Structure 1
Amino acid sequence: MDARIQQSVVANLSARPAPVEVGPFVIGVDPGTDSPHINYATPRPGVPISAADVSALVAAFRQVGRKPRLEYVSSTAPGLEALLGAAGFAVEARHDYLVCVPGSLTVPSTPDGYDVREPVTAEEIAALIRAQNEAFGGEPVATEADVARVKRLQAAGGIAIVAVASDGTCAGGGQAVPPGNNVSEVAGIAVRDQHRRRGLAGAITAAVAGALFRGGAEIAWLEASGEDSWRVYERVGFRPAGKRLYLVLD
């Protein structure tokens, strides 16, 4: 499972607007943003990596004007953490990832007063992005580049889901990247403060995963940021499967 999840990350980054191949690594570069959470690198699973490869990776990040940062499934590059540490990288986080397959997905009822669906118009997509940014502690804004990024995701087979309250306001939403080898990452599951504790996060997560499976995906995976989200994901059918590692060079 680890190798399959890691290969899906490689596929996702390779589909960025301007990916950069650096030896055993791929950097997913998006010219529309300098966010290190979008512009990061990952290793190809099972490929030998040397200190020279790491140096070349850092140089490639500098050349494209992005902060050197990696995300990967730990077991697929067992010696990489030590090499990165020797090059000055620091561990940003260690996370468990969870997986769901069609047979384990449990779809809860949508809470009363909400509609959970795919956004169609640019304004609906912008509302989704603003809600996600607000829910994660950022400014509730959405740029044209942000909207274009979600439109590209949808056009390539990815999923975007928005939760709309009965008064027309966006309560939250979530996304999934286009499947690579029938595997997709679910991300950005967010509910604005005033709409929490009503079951929306589970309904959004299940809607994203369900749309993936109807499109032919075999595995959906995600990471939980805390105990509350872990419980939400387990209730809709996600189960712990492996470890992921984040490292950054400041």
Structure 2
Amino acid sequence: MDLRIQRSVVANLRNRPNPVETGPFVLGLDLSTDSPHINYATPVPGAEITATDVRDLVAAFDGRKPRLEYVISCAPTLEKLLLDADFTVESRNEYLICTPDTLAVPSVPEGFEVFAPKSDEEFAGMIAAQNDAFGGGFRSTPADVERYRRNRSAGGVMIAARTADGEFAGGGTAVAPNEGLSEVAGIAVRERFRRQGLAGAITAAITAELFAGGAEVAWLEASGDDSWRVYERVGFRPSGQRLYISK
């Protein structure tokens, strides 16, 4: 599974609006944003990597924060090369996978709607709720909306949550499947709407839509024990480790 996950990450980054390939790395750039969580690199699994390749990768970021995300087992010698080049480990996360056989779809909590946004206003509300949940304030930009629309047009999935009176509470996304796999990401619920079952409902709705479209495996990462329990309840199981590292 590690190899399939890493190959799917490479394919996803190659589909960014402004991808760069340098040596054994793919750098997935989207020039509409400076976010290092969107503009990052990953190694092509199985490729030989040298210190010169790492230096060339840093230069390819062209002033942006050099950052990588990858499945550790697919590039076992890379971490030392990056540390030698003054990179710092951000985190090591276990990723979890879900298949149609393990998915468990819970009921949507009373008083909420979980749905696929269609209008610019709905996309903006969902993005603002995600930003607020992650500590960035309740805001969104036209560039954010366009990025989400582009993802959906490419086959990605967007699911939002709002209250009965229309207040946006959170949301989540998934990229278009590659090699039968898709990453579920950005699962977020604003603080005052948490612990009511919304995160699980959003995650399950995204995953169910992926499987309905033919995906074989959905995968994601948990940021802590609380989110880990949420994802396990809807059918995700631990499978491997990924590294987040930046300079």
TM-score range for the pair, normalised by the shorter chain length: over 0.9
Q: Check if 1:204 corresponds to 2:189.
A: no
Separation of aligned partners in 1, 2:69 and 2:95: 12
Q: Using the alignment, how far apart are the partners of 1:196 and 1:53 within structure 2?
A: 44
Q: How does 1:25-104 map to 2 (within 5 A)?
A: 25-62=25-62, 65-104=63-102
Paired residue secondary structure (1:104):
coil
How far apart, in 1, do the equivalents of 2:14 and 2:102 lie?
Answer: 29
Letter in 1 for 2:112: Y
Aligned residue number for residue 15 of structure 2: 15
1:182 paired residue among 167, 180, 183: 180
Task: Give the structure 1 partner of residue 229 of structure 2.
Answer: 231
SS at match of 2:242: strand
Q: Structure 2: any 5+ residue segments left out of the alignment?
A: none
Structure 1 moving runs of 4+ over 4 Å: none
Which residue of the partner structure matches residue 5 of structure 1?
Answer: 5
1-side partners of 2:39 and 2:137: how far apart? 20
Deviation of the 1:182 alpha carbon? 1.2
Q: What does residue range 138-177 of structure 1 map to in structure 2 within 5 Å?
A: 138-177=136-175
Deviation for aligned residue 1:46: 1.3
Aligned length: 247
The AA in structure 2 aligned to 1:61 is F
CA distance in 2, matches of 1:66, 1:214: 38
Q: 87-96 or 233-242, which moves further after superposition? A: 87-96
Distance, in Å, in 2 between the alignment partners of 1:196 and 1:246 is 27
Task: Give the SS at the match of 1:168.
Answer: coil
- Residue-by-residue CA offset, 1:135-176 (whole Å, 9 max, x unaligned): 011121101110000000100000000012101111111000
Amino acid at match of 2:108: T
Please give the secondary structure, in 2, of the residue aligned with 1:225: coil
Shift in Å at residue 181 of structure 1? 1.0
State the distance in 2 between where 1:174 and 1:234 align: 17
* Aligned amino acid, residue 156 of structure 2: G
What TM-score, normalized to structure 1? 0.98
TM-score normalised according to structure 2 size? 0.99
Unpaired segments of 5 or more residues in structure 1?
none
Separation (CA, whole Å) in 2 of partners of 1:189 and 1:59: 32
1:105 matched to which residue of 2?
A: 103
State the SS of the aligned residue for 1:119: coil
- 1:114 Cα deviation (Å)? 1.1
* Alignment counterpart, residue 115 of structure 1, candidates 108, 113, 116: 113
Please state how far the C-alpha of 1:195 moved relative to its aligned partner: 1.1
Query: Offset of 1:131 from its aligned partner?
Result: 0.3
- Residue 187 of structure 1 aligns to a residue in which SS? strand
Determine what percentage of the aligned residue pairs are the same residue. 64
**Matched position secondary structure for 1:186:** strand
SS at match of 1:153: helix
1:24-83: CA deviations, max 9, x gaps?
100000010011110000001111111111111011112xx3111000000000000001
